[in-house]
Structure 1
């Protein structure tokens, strides 16, 4: 398991264990974390699982693919170099301790 910390826009933290092989989005959905809507179910066809990742962790995540980068154009206030779609981040043991901050809203 990997411990992932989800921080809501209001500062509320949720630390949950996420099984490797799932995505960061699935970890939020399966644990009832508010702030990740995941309207497309993880197909990278919307931006409603958008989150901000600290620079420390960005270098440790898989490289962003073109489709994800395109979908981030539709996210609420994306931040270049920090924004990711959590449906595109597969959880591994190496992501133990990952922290993601959720935007004010998803669109």
Structure 2
């Protein structure tokens, strides 16, 4: 199992143990993390699973692919560290990943 931490928009910390290969969004939904709506179910067709990747993880997680970057245009308050959580697949390299849930979703 891998460690994944969500910091809610109210600063509540959600420390999860997740499976290799699962997406950050799937784990948020499965564990009831508030603020991750995931209207499209992970198809990269909305921006309601938007998260901010912790500064310490930006380089490791990498940049969004073009399709994800286009969808981030629909996110509320996108930033340089914005990603769609449906597009981040957990792996050993991301063990300990921390993401923050924005104040609101698009």
The verdict on a shared fold, with TM-score over 0.5 as the criterion, is yes
TM-score of the aligned structures, taking structure 1 as reference length? 0.95
User: Displacement, 1:32?
Assistant: 1.0
Separation in structure 2 between the aligned mates of residue 26 and residue 98 of structure 1, nearest angstrom: 15
TM-score of the aligned structures, taking structure 2 as reference length? 0.96
Residue 103, structure 1, aligned to residue 102, structure 2: yes
Determine if contact 1:50/1:75 at 8 Å carries over to the other structure.
Answer: yes
Structure 2 unmatched ranges of 5 or more: none
Separation in structure 1 between the aligned mates of residue 2 and residue 46 of structure 2, nearest angstrom: 25
Q: Which runs of 4+ in 1 moved over 3 A?
A: none
Residue 39, structure 1, aligned to residue 39, structure 2: yes
Separation in structure 2 between the aligned mates of residue 53 and residue 2 of structure 1, nearest angstrom: 17
